[in-house]
Chains A and B, each alone.
Chain A
């Protein structure tokens, strides 16, 4: 190749007046070879050929510069690749491809606004490019301009119905909290995307049905997805956590074993395994697994929450206190965390702080009956009947609104029993939902008998809590509805559910995030 380059010069010197000028090598003559090596990921050879080619053409070979920039970007030298792409754009200002790559590099550097400008320029050169519209949409998401993002993504969908665009569009709606629109997007994704793209179809369908709250259907589709790809980590985790929700711990464990083989260091996985053991009442194993999860992801509040919960159950209140306060530091606006902390503090004989913690929990809480009930019991045990009555009435109010709006008509029997006991002790609660249908007078009798022996009451706090935690099945329906209504900020009624459930949701969000990483 070198002889080729020097050929003209050499002949110049020897014969000053040749009849025939030497053949000039064509600039693009090695493009095919560069491409061939590039797509085979043989980057070393590719770089050698590019170097030679650039030497021969003195940097004028557009494609060689282009591929060199692509390789540099793969190697993480984004700034250098950006400069090379810019020189490509100078060599060939008419190509929208070069501009697209410039924009992409800018995007990777986090300069979203600059990327948007370049993409718009590229869009002027090539009106009907799905990729430009899609990437513009993604850039707008990062600049928080959701409306433009939506517009661009819809435009992209008109040009070509790509899986990624649907996912991003769904994500925008979820980010904006517009669940209904997100459902529409997933629904149309399920309809339009060809039947052959099963994995994507299942993902969409699962998201779609979960948003609708149809967990059963979502579960069926997860099963289908798993038969096509039995090692899909995300699907395993989602399916496993659903099985767990229904108390099917052994099957869930089977699934988790597969997942643990392929991804042995996943914090959500070890969290779920831990909660499986918890459900099977193998507390030491549960703590081991949760601690591993915590080791792998020390700043995940859900794992800390579960660790706190398990330690409370094990009556290791001092440890529980530490995990819960760590969780609160990471997520300071969650009422259930304060409630659990208050329970721990009660058992640590720190009534003042327990009370403060309960107050915080009540202040933050919106619909959880347990917060008020536990607080009322605590106040009652402290001898503050007046305040206890107030909390009890607050709980009554919540029950009534839930019943009225038909969100929830079935309550956990333990919770009901505890409430009845307390109601009798406080001489209140006759107008409660569950006391209306003539629930036998036995419970009131029992509560009256329990009243004198107030020594049993402090135990009761824990019992209500512990029982509520362990009786998972009774809650499944209520959980589904509340979770379905607010997928972004899960506020469910029971600890165990939430402890298992957010991971399911986090899993879905994780899916979303991974999708967008692929996009980047």
Chain B
């Protein structure tokens, strides 16, 4: 009880720190933290919300711009956006930022919400052998089948993977190959990769409105830094795995640091002076969110943990979360000198951490999938979240809100004061205890005596069962059989199914017969004796027969089933079937 009240108090305090500015549960947004940005798109001092919406995941992919509570503009994207940043690309006045949307192998740059430039990733090195094979195909020196064999050989051995064209070709049915070769052979072979994450890096000044370079990570593990105006590649670095999340700090011309979380579960730290990662953090589970706070990096992992690392990869702390992480973002209020990490959790909460201390909790109506904190409209402390159901939540931080820089759950655990639920004993139990104390010897002897009797009775019954073959398994070694019986029907006619199985490993059983014994006044059977076919080991043989109940007095009896062997009087198996009472009236 006290824990509940504690929580209630906690949330009421937390909710009083935020104003609920806007909540649209049907905004229909499917997006991630990487596809959200706040930007002063028109240079009018009013920040808009730019969202790369994945639509249904197939179609309806859109770049949406929100102003206030409504959509300002929508433009269709060709493919799913992987990331989106707002950056200043030149020094021209008015200083309006451009939006870069990464999608597939391209970056689409929008200025004033109009398409401005399309950057394509440089193509990767193509296997020279593959090139040879295709040029032979081009000159019709080899037929498609040979081409296929050669490409397959290449795929299994080559250091450089095959291009999409070859891989597609290998998927085709033989009759489609001819056309495919005809169609594609004139084109040069290209091998392309896709962008997996995008970030930005100030070019040469640390100012808020400095010109920024784009930093992109690709599927094959490369990181490129692009010139902001010409979109040429300024610098290339490579990673051991595909990057998934990225954080960039510093300036390109001075010194920078790129922290990249990769798909192999490691975090790599890249620096200006080396094309290879400088430091590596091996995590025990996959990173879901990566946020830099001051000089430290905060990582949320799939194992419901939050870790803090220095920028050299040294672990500082670990906090345990109550649910899996779904989204993370930095909350930065430079005017107040306040920084915290917002962590969206799968239990419909957003936790605010400062180092390892949980300083506040926000309850949300749905699971949050993306978080963005910053200036929206003219309000500095705005928290924007989208939910799994497609909702959009906008909250504004109250100017009076104060966060204690202290863990909100200290002190002894509340559970310490909860009474133990010790099972109660009744007076009867106590009386019986007293009785046992007085008569322990007699009780013990009586018990031992009864136990011996029970054992004797059990042994007798067992011997009897063995002697009369009443067990469900036959005891004979030559005919190991198993039988069970099922009665179906309400009466007066019943269906009796006998399942017989030969449990021997390889030997079939032959020459068996079944006979029934029953009260002929009560029941009648069409055939009370029949032969069983040869029993193959392991198979189950259901044998059906029909029984008619003759009495309408609601009485029932036992039907005995004997499995017999030809030329032997003692049955192999006996089953007693307790017939149910016939519920229907016998037809006259």
Asked if B117 is at the interface (CB within 8 A of a chain A CB), the reply is: no
Pick from B156, B326, B420: contact of A256, CB under 8 Å: B420
Binds A, one of B15-23, B180-188, B374-382, B521-529: B180-188
Question: Which residues of B sit under 8 angstroms from A262, Cβ to Cβ?
Answer: 415
Known: A40-B288, A262-B415, A318-B447. A257 touches B424 (CB 8 A): no
Question: What is the CA–CA distance of A364 and B217 in the complex, to the nearest angstrom?
Answer: 69
Known: A41-B346, A258-B415. A317 touches B424 (CB 8 A): no
Give the Cβ gap from A101 to chain B, nearest Cβ, in Å.
Answer: 12
Chain A positions 55-112 with a Cβ under 8 Å from a chain B Cβ: 57-58, 60, 93, 97
Asked if B579 is at the interface (CB within 8 A of a chain A CB), the reply is: no
A288→B425 contact, CB < 8 A: yes
Chain B, 79-104, contact with A by CB distance < 8 Å: what is the 0/1 string? 11010000000000000000000001
A41→B302 contact, CB < 8 A: yes
B444→A21 contact, CB < 8 A: no
B184→A32 contact, CB < 8 A: no
Give the Cβ gap from A396 to chain B, nearest Cβ, in Å.
Answer: 34
A28→B315 contact, CB < 8 A: no
Question: Which residues of B sit under 8 angstroms from A24, Cβ to Cβ?
Answer: 164-165, 168
Asked if A1 is at the interface (CB within 8 A of a chain B CB), the reply is: yes
Asked if A296 is at the interface (CB within 8 A of a chain B CB), the reply is: no
Give the Cβ gap from B329 to chain A, nearest Cβ, in Å.
Answer: 15
Question: Which residues of A sit under 8 angstroms from B440, Cβ to Cβ?
Answer: 315-318, 347-348
Known: A33-B80, A258-B413. A21 touches B104 (CB 8 A): no
B171→A60 contact, CB < 8 A: yes
Question: What is the CA–CA distance of A291 and B324 in the complex, to the nearest angstrom?
Answer: 37
Question: What is the CA–CA distance of A314 and B82 in the complex, to the nearest angstrom?
Answer: 72
Chain A positions 16-45 with a Cβ under 8 Å from a chain B Cβ: 18, 20-21, 24-33, 35-36, 38-42, 45
A40→B326 contact, CB < 8 A: yes
Chain A positions 246-268 with a Cβ under 8 Å from a chain B Cβ: 253-258, 260-262, 264
Question: What is the CA–CA distance of A515 and B108 in the complex, to the nearest angstrom?
Answer: 49
Question: What is the CA–CA distance of A70 and B299 in the complex, to the nearest angstrom?
Answer: 22
B346→A32 contact, CB < 8 A: no
- Quick one: closest B residue to A164, CB to CB? B284
Question: Which residues of B sit under 8 angstroms from A149, Cβ to Cβ?
Answer: none
Chain A positions 342-357 with a Cβ under 8 Å from a chain B Cβ: 347-350
Chain B, 166-189, contact with A by CB distance < 8 Å: what is the 0/1 string? 011011000010011001101100
- Quick one: closest A residue to B243, CB to CB? A32
Known: A230-B413, A288-B425. A58 touches B171 (CB 8 A): yes
Chain A, 197-239, contact with B by CB distance < 8 Å: what is the 0/1 string? 1000000000000000000000000000000001100000000
Asked if A404 is at the interface (CB within 8 A of a chain B CB), the reply is: no
A197→B180 contact, CB < 8 A: no
Known: A8-B183, A60-B167, A197-B315. A292 touches B425 (CB 8 A): no
Give the Cβ gap from B306 to chain A, nearest Cβ, in Å.
Answer: 13
A260→B420 contact, CB < 8 A: yes
Question: Which residues of B sit under 8 angstroms from A31, Cβ to Cβ?
Answer: 194, 196, 219, 242, 263
Question: What is the CA–CA distance of A264 and B422 in the complex, to the nearest angstrom?
Answer: 11
B57→A49 contact, CB < 8 A: yes
Question: Which residues of A sit under 8 angstroms from B423, Cβ to Cβ?
Answer: 288-289, 291-292
Known: A31-B219, A60-B171. A348 touches B413 (CB 8 A): no
Pick from B156, B388, B415, B430: contact of A257, CB under 8 Å: B415
Known: A32-B244, A58-B171, A230-B412. A26 touches B288 (CB 8 A): no
- Quick one: closest B residue to A11, CB to CB? B183
Asked if A273 is at the interface (CB within 8 A of a chain B CB), the reply is: yes
- Quick one: closest A residue to B187, CB to CB? A21
Pick from A130, A264, A314: contact of B433, CB under 8 Å: A314
B443→A32 contact, CB < 8 A: no
Give the Cβ gap from A175 to chain B, nearest Cβ, in Å.
Answer: 24
B183→A317 contact, CB < 8 A: no
Give the total of A residues in contact with B, Cβ under 8 Å.
72
Pick from A33, A97, A197, A257: contact of B418, CB under 8 Å: A257
Grouping DSSP codes into helix (H, G, I), strand (E, B) and loop, the A interface class, with mixed when no group exceeds half, is helix
Asked if A160 is at the interface (CB within 8 A of a chain B CB), the reply is: yes
Asked if B421 is at the interface (CB within 8 A of a chain A CB), the reply is: yes
Question: Which residues of A sit under 8 angstroms from B443, Cβ to Cβ?
Answer: 318
Asked if A321 is at the interface (CB within 8 A of a chain B CB), the reply is: yes
Question: What is the CA–CA distance of A350 and B444 in the complex, to the nearest angstrom?
Answer: 10
B244→A36 contact, CB < 8 A: yes
Question: What is the CA–CA distance of A194 and B307 in the complex, to the nearest angstrom?
Answer: 14
Give the Cβ gap from A368 to chain B, nearest Cβ, in Å.
Answer: 26
- Pair count A-B, CB < 8 A: 160
Asked if B495 is at the interface (CB within 8 A of a chain A CB), the reply is: no
Question: What is the CA–CA distance of A223 and B167 in the complex, to the nearest angstrom?
Answer: 61
Question: Which residues of A sit under 8 angstroms from B165, Cβ to Cβ?
Answer: 24
Question: What is the CA–CA distance of A321 and B324 in the complex, to the nearest angstrom?
Answer: 50
Question: Which residues of B sit under 8 angstroms from A123, Cβ to Cβ?
Answer: none
A316→B415 contact, CB < 8 A: no
Most buried by A among B57, B79, B196, B422: B422
Question: What is the CA–CA distance of A8 and B282 in the complex, to the nearest angstrom?
Answer: 43
B164→A318 contact, CB < 8 A: no
Question: Which residues of A sit under 8 angstroms from B193, Cβ to Cβ?
Answer: 26, 28
B324→A40 contact, CB < 8 A: yes
Question: Which residues of B sit under 8 angstroms from A42, Cβ to Cβ?
Answer: 388
Question: Which residues of B sit under 8 angstroms from A288, Cβ to Cβ?
Answer: 422-425
Asked if A508 is at the interface (CB within 8 A of a chain B CB), the reply is: no
Pick from B180, B422, B436, B437: contact of A285, CB under 8 Å: B422
Question: What is the CA–CA distance of A256 and B413 in the complex, to the nearest angstrom?
Answer: 12
Asked if B230 is at the interface (CB within 8 A of a chain A CB), the reply is: no
Question: What is the CA–CA distance of A12 and B182 in the complex, to the nearest angstrom?
Answer: 10
- Quick one: closest A residue to B438, CB to CB? A315
A28→B422 contact, CB < 8 A: no
Asked if B316 is at the interface (CB within 8 A of a chain A CB), the reply is: yes
Asked if B317 is at the interface (CB within 8 A of a chain A CB), the reply is: yes
Question: Which residues of A sit under 8 angstroms from B176, Cβ to Cβ?
Answer: 9
Chain B positions 428-445 with a Cβ under 8 Å from a chain A Cβ: 429-430, 433, 436-437, 440-441, 443-445
Give the Cβ gap from A303 to chain B, nearest Cβ, in Å.
Answer: 15
Asked if A287 is at the interface (CB within 8 A of a chain B CB), the reply is: yes
Asked if B318 is at the interface (CB within 8 A of a chain A CB), the reply is: yes
Asked if B353 is at the interface (CB within 8 A of a chain A CB), the reply is: no
Question: What is the CA–CA distance of A288 and B421 in the complex, to the nearest angstrom?
Answer: 11
Chain B, 228-246, contact with A by CB distance < 8 Å: what is the 0/1 string? 0000000000000010100
Give the Cβ gap from B205 to chain A, nearest Cβ, in Å.
Answer: 32
Asked if A439 is at the interface (CB within 8 A of a chain B CB), the reply is: no
Give the Cβ gap from A434 to chain B, nearest Cβ, in Å.
Answer: 35
Give the Cβ gap from B435 to chain A, nearest Cβ, in Å.
Answer: 10
Give the Cβ gap from A191 to chain B, nearest Cβ, in Å.
Answer: 16
Asked if A196 is at the interface (CB within 8 A of a chain B CB), the reply is: yes
- Quick one: closest A residue to B261, CB to CB? A39
Asked if A284 is at the interface (CB within 8 A of a chain B CB), the reply is: yes
B413→A231 contact, CB < 8 A: yes
Question: What is the CA–CA distance of A318 and B318 in the complex, to the nearest angstrom?
Answer: 54
Chain B, 333-347, contact with A by CB distance < 8 Å: what is the 0/1 string? 000000000000010
Question: What is the CA–CA distance of A8 and B183 in the complex, to the nearest angstrom?
Answer: 9
Known: A58-B171, A262-B415, A315-B440. A26 touches B164 (CB 8 A): yes
Question: What is the CA–CA distance of A296 and B423 in the complex, to the nearest angstrom?
Answer: 14
A284→B186 contact, CB < 8 A: no
Give the Cβ gap from B48 to chain A, nearest Cβ, in Å.
Answer: 25
B433→A321 contact, CB < 8 A: no
Asked if A319 is at the interface (CB within 8 A of a chain B CB), the reply is: yes
- If A197-B315, A197-B318 are given as contacts, then 17 extra A-B residue pairs at C-beta distance below 8 Å, sorted by A number, are A20-B187, A24-B165, A31-B194, A32-B219, A32-B242, A39-B287, A39-B288, A40-B325, A45-B57, A93-B156, A194-B314, A231-B415, A260-B420, A273-B422, A284-B425, A318-B444, A319-B436
A interface, CB within 8 angstroms of B: 1-2, 8-9, 11-12, 18, 20-21, 24-33, 35-36, 38-42, 45, 48-49, 52, 57-58, 60, 93, 97, 130, 160, 194, 196-197, 230-231, 253-258, 260-262, 264, 273, 277, 284-285, 287-289, 291-292, 314-319, 321, 347-350
Q: Could you list 6 examples of A-B contacts with CB < 8 Å? A: A33-B80, A35-B242, A39-B302, A254-B416, A255-B416, A257-B418
